[in-house]
Amino acid sequence: MMSDQTILVTGAAGFIGFHIARQLLAEGRHVTGLDSLNNYYDPALKRARLNILREDSRFGFIQADLADRPSTRELFAEHRFATVIHLAAQAGVRHSIDHPYAYVDANLEGFFNVLEGCRRNECRHLVYASSSSVYGANTKLPFSVADKTDWPVSLYAATKKANELMAHSYSHLYRLPVTGLRFFTIYGPWGRPDMAIFLFAKAIIEGKPIKLFNNGNMRRDFTYIDDVIRVVLRLIERVPADDGGAGNAPARIYNVGNHRPEQLMHVVALLEKELGRAAVKEMLPMQAGDVAETFADVDDLMRDVGFRPQTSIEDGIAGFVAWYRDHYKV
């Protein structure tokens, strides 16, 4: 990839998009960031991330909704991005139960428009976000990309599975190189306020109860954002070869996880330690659309790009809490 070629990062004001864009800029790349800046969570946090990116002269920002077909078509035709990192999506398992249309618009319509933009304008590599939620009701652990993912337990998961199928079909039909990333519970500085670690930290500081579903008996493959950045930047450069493999399409899917599930109660204890106060715990039953455990098999990442997660949960929680205290002045 030529360093002077502009890379499109969708969802650039989001958690992962912000970190990826910032690292690309640090490496001297030119980045166009796109985001709708919707109010799914506090837009002030998105704007704060964006302000950091805007400090770099190589960064340009476009506020747009990818579900808007004419404007998305125009954007891709004008810029002809060689590399697209598509992270914009309507996130959240629980939110999808109450607001299903948002997921159809962003995750299906929006993703389709990105695929069309890429295939019509000679994109050399589309890297897109999927999710560990595609594993749904699977009980075999760790989750492997070779496992069947035909039993989603939320609409969010179903849209992410659909993204993988849509990307594969475009890769097969138009020889568009695509790489899907099944992210496993990413956390760290500038994280999403609807994610457990952020919610817990805020509640503990405010002395409010934290909700522990399945009576706290949950395990998650918590993955620190710095490890995610490292692997995504390597994968951007690893364009799938059009060699007749993987169902006769230049398409790959990887798990991006820590390869080590952590007990939720251990994570709560680490937050209590870092924040210097006890959590008020509200034990609740399992809720619709959720799963008890996630665990990523990352052998193929290790094989293909030498990926090794390097951040322990102890160091990761410490890093997140330090950022939280600084950003919110608490």
Per-residue pLDDT reduced to its tens digit, 3-13: 458 999 999 99
- Give the Cα separation of 165 and 211 in Å (integer): 35
Does 244 have pLDDT greater than 80? no
- Give the Cα separation of 254 and 52 in Å (integer): 29
Residue 187 — φ and ψ, nearest 5°? -145, 165
Does 246 have pLDDT greater than 70? no
Per-residue pLDDT reduced to its tens digit, 64-110: 999 999 999 999 999 999 999 999 999 888 888 889 999 999 999 99
- Give the Cα separation of 232 and 174 in Å (integer): 24
Residue 35 — φ and ψ, nearest 5°? -160, 145
pLDDT at 97: 87
Domains of the chain in sequence order: 6-187+222-256 (3.40.50.720), 196-221+259-294+311-328 (3.90.25.10)
Give the active site residues: 156
Q: What is the DSSP annotation of 28-84?
A: T-EEEEEE---SSS-HHHHHHHHHHHTTSTTEEEEE--TT-HHHHHHHHHHH--SEE
Amino acid at site 226: D
What percent of the chain lies above the pLDDT cut of 90? 90
Whole-model pTM: value is 0.95
Alpha-carbon torsion (185, 189, 192, 193), positive or negative:
positive
Q: Residue 61 contacts by C-beta under 8 Å, 6 or more apart in sequence?
A: 12, 32, 33, 34, 35, 50, 53, 54
pLDDT at 16: 98
Residue 221 · residue 296 · CB < 8 Å:
yes
Residue 133 · residue 90 · CB < 8 Å:
no
Per-residue pLDDT reduced to its tens digit, 123-169: 999 999 999 999 998 889 999 999 999 999 999 999 999 999 999 99
- No. of helices (H) and no. of strands (E), the chain: 13, 13
